[in-house]
Structure 1
Amino acid sequence: MSLPSSDPPPRVLHLSQPVDGGVARVLTDLVKAQLAAGLHVTAACPQDSGLAHTLRALGCDVAHWQATRAPGPRLVREVRRLAHVVAEARPDVVHAHSAKAGLAARLVLRGRVPTVFQPHAWSFEAVDGLAAGLALKWERWGARWASRVVCVSEAERVTGVRAGVRATWSVIPNGVDTERFHPADARTVRTGIPLLDRLDPAAPLVVCVGRLCRQKGQDVLLEAWDTVRRRMPGARLVLVGDGPEAARLRAGASGDVLFAGAADDAVPWYQAADLVVLPSRWEGMALAPLEAMACGRPVVLTDVDGARESLPPGLDTRCLVPSQAPGPLARAICDLLADPPLRESLGRQGRRHVLTTHDVRRVADAVAGVYRELLTAGPGGRAVCGKHSECREPIHT
């Protein structure tokens, strides 16, 4: 990745809340690439989070920004704290990740510094009723204070446009580290995972990696699993992750469903799987299917934003099912578990697709291109996209 040459190099400030899951993984990979390129990178997030520890280990400056995941009564204090962080960091570009960070960053900056907002799935899809209406109004209003809105899929961008968000857009699909996420023999990997070491080596194993929350749809998967259990009694399901729905999911699960808890490294779980499933209710572009395919594993995922774009062309009929539809999900799982040669073929196709389309280095280069445009655009950092007819005209401040 390259940016306009300067001495000192451009100062980038990343803001993140949440600090776990896919957002944290995307940010970690991006910071790693930017540090290697010689940028001065600071990240603002809660200092006691796993994300903060990981970024410090990479050599990134981490500023303490005490903020909760969701908006609430403490928002005013959180915005004030962020204003102090921005003043100390003196960034040339601010990159805010997800709804909460995007809310606080735009309230603080109001277009005075080139600001990139990356929703990682829209906030108004995550809530219902009055909260959804308020979130949508904010995204429409706050877009004026984003120099660029970066979506991880074209579908996510279209969702924003249809909701009335008028912005200058860039679409940069998610990517994964294809050296870290790589194929391995499933039976060998299973022997090294304590939760699986007593499992029948021939037992079909389905793995779902994701935060245990409403968005990821594990409750729908458990409902579908009742059908899978009847058709394939020896199959086992592992849920990898933790979150607010953990207790409820455990209470409703049968004995052939295993809960692995949060995993610092999900690679062995992908490699141990015969099939990886992600039954999300909404996404921008989920990382788990990309990581699974990089490990050579077939996937089944719900047809939400980014799903079709993450799959190799032509696999949508076998690997995509409607969201919140236990019946089709169960059928897709059973069909693939019953066909090992097909699973192997899909795994090979998925690995090739990720290598050519979703390598994390492509993401870093594309983000660098956005920064480059903003840094050379003059006051306010605005540049017209030119690709999408609905992009707004630039507003200089």
Structure 2
Amino acid sequence: MSQPVTAGVAEVVLHLARAQRDLGWAVTVVCPPGPLADRARAAGVAVRAWPARRHPGPGTAAEVVRLRRVLRDVAPDVVHLHSSKAGLAGRLVVRGRRPTLFQPHLWSFDTATGPLRRAARTWERLAARWTHQLVCVSDDELAAGRAAGVAGPAEVVCNGVDVDRFRPRDRLTARRRLGLPDVPTAVCVGRLAPLKGQDRLLAAWPEVRAKVPDARLVLVGDGPMAARWRAACDDESVRWWGHDESVADLYTAADVVVLPSRAEGMALVPLEAMASGRSVVAFDVSGVRQSVGEAGAVLPPGDVAALADAVAVRLADPDAADLEGAHGRRRVELLFDRRQAADHIATLVDKLLVGAR
């Protein structure tokens, strides 16, 4: 069950559903209408519609009622809840009466402020009694949960990527296919929203251009801040690419991939970039240090000057950046192949079901 229907969470849910279907399990994806539901149906996975907004609000009570009807019809042996919103509604409905896994993909209290932050921490502590297995996507995410007082059995199952889809390819060929010039290129993939921090990268970009005058920045994604940020940017070296499901070529076209996020659980973008053999520059938010290793630069969160310097260094010396990318490819093959994650989740589900019986 998932509320997000796009981006990283949806990608994880879809892969797990396919992998469990291939094990012979009867799998149903419960989510709002959208890309996740469409892709799951196309893959032959059963889907049940659950209209729900991304954030809690006045309509949450009605969403819980609708979810209760869905789960009553499906009658699952085990429930796997992805994201804080699904974790809220799902645990209010199930209340521990069926084996329940909860995978936050970034704690809600890590992005909330003020009274909402306190309420989210309190809820997660209380809801732990209805969680048979907490699944965190990074060591940092688990540590944040424990620091907030979230108790109970927990495992870290790092996100993984398709190492066949994302693999090193020829940069010049990709640029020609995409219509991009053969110049030093930074790529940033993500929803255009404050959490993803593209405004920080845009703030750093003039300094990058001062050091590497022919540099180009490609922003891949759409979101609530797209119009405002684009209107405020008059730099012709910035390409606003928009949403694109086929990002493999865009990683290949890059000299460096940038993740300027304010918060993450464990982002897929660095892993996809590393699998593609590309260097990564990212702020040190949850999961980044664990994923990137020697494949690039991990910077103090919010340090725009350091971001500009790290990006410029790699654009000015693509051979050194490619060496980091080669380290990243080996690291992903060893630690972040998504088949490993699917096997780990399947083992956890098996253990829960054996215990329930």
TM-score, L = length of structure 1: 0.88
* 2:68 is equivalent to residue 83 of structure 1: yes
Give the structure 2 partner of residue 181 of structure 1. 166
Q: For 1:32-69, what per-residue CA distance to the aligned partner results, in whole angstroms no more than 9, with x for missing partners?
A: 1111111100011113x011000001101000101011
* 2:8 is equivalent to residue 22 of structure 1: yes
- What is the CA-CA distance between 1:265 and the residue it aligns to? 1.4
Opposite residue 60 of structure 1, the aligned amino acid is V
Secondary structure, aligned partner of 1:207:
strand
Give the structure 2 partner of residue 386 of structure 1. none
Query: For 1:32 and 1:221, how far apart are their aligned partners in 2?
Result: 35
Determine what percentage of the aligned residue pairs are the same residue: 49
* 2:315 is equivalent to residue 334 of structure 1: no
Q: For 1:241-267, what per-residue CA distance to the aligned partner results, in whole angstroms no more than 9, with x for missing partners?
A: 111111121122222111111111111
Query: For 2:151 and 2:229, how far apart are their aligned partners in 1?
Result: 39
**Mapped contact 2:99–2:356 kept (Cα < 8 A):** no
Query: For 1:30 and 1:245, how far apart are their aligned partners in 2?
Result: 31
* 2:29 is equivalent to residue 32 of structure 1: no
- What is the CA-CA distance between 1:144 and the residue it aligns to? 1.2
Query: For 1:167 and 1:338, how far apart are their aligned partners in 2?
Result: 48
**Mapped contact 2:77–2:98 kept (Cα < 8 A):** yes
Give the structure 2 partner of residue 378 of structure 1. 356
TM-score, L = length of structure 2: 0.98
Secondary structure, aligned partner of 2:355:
coil
* 2:131 is equivalent to residue 131 of structure 1: no
Query: For 1:246 and 1:367, how far apart are their aligned partners in 2?
Result: 36
Give the structure 2 partner of residue 74 of structure 1. 59
Secondary structure, aligned partner of 2:27:
strand
Equivalent residue runs for 1:241-390 within 5 Å: 241-253=221-233, 254-312=235-293, 314=294, 318-378=296-356
Which among 171, 174, 185 is matched to residue 156 of structure 2? 171
Q: For 1:328-362, what per-residue CA distance to the aligned partner results, in whole angstroms no more than 9, with x for missing partners?
A: 10111111112222111111110011011100100
Query: For 1:143 and 1:241, how far apart are their aligned partners in 2?
Result: 34
Give the structure 2 partner of residue 240 of structure 1. 220
- What is the CA-CA distance between 1:209 and the residue it aligns to? 0.5
Give me the CA root mean square deviation: 1.1
Opposite residue 80 of structure 1, the aligned amino acid is V
Secondary structure, aligned partner of 1:176:
coil
Matched positions, count: 356
**Mapped contact 2:217–2:238 kept (Cα < 8 A):** yes
Give the structure 2 partner of residue 383 of structure 1. none
Query: For 2:245 and 2:27, how far apart are their aligned partners in 1?
Result: 24
Opposite residue 297 of structure 1, the aligned amino acid is R
- What is the CA-CA distance between 1:87 and the residue it aligns to? 0.6
Q: Which has the higher helix share?
A: 2
**Mapped contact 2:255–2:322 kept (Cα < 8 A):** no
Give the structure 2 partner of residue 154 of structure 1. 139
Q: For 1:151-199, what per-residue CA distance to the aligned partner results, in whole angstroms no more than 9, with x for missing partners?
A: 00111100111111112101000100100111111110111114x2xx2
Secondary structure, aligned partner of 2:236:
coil
Query: For 2:149 and 2:326, how far apart are their aligned partners in 1?
Result: 40
Query: Which 4+ residue blocks in structure 1 deviate beyond 6 angstroms?
Result: none
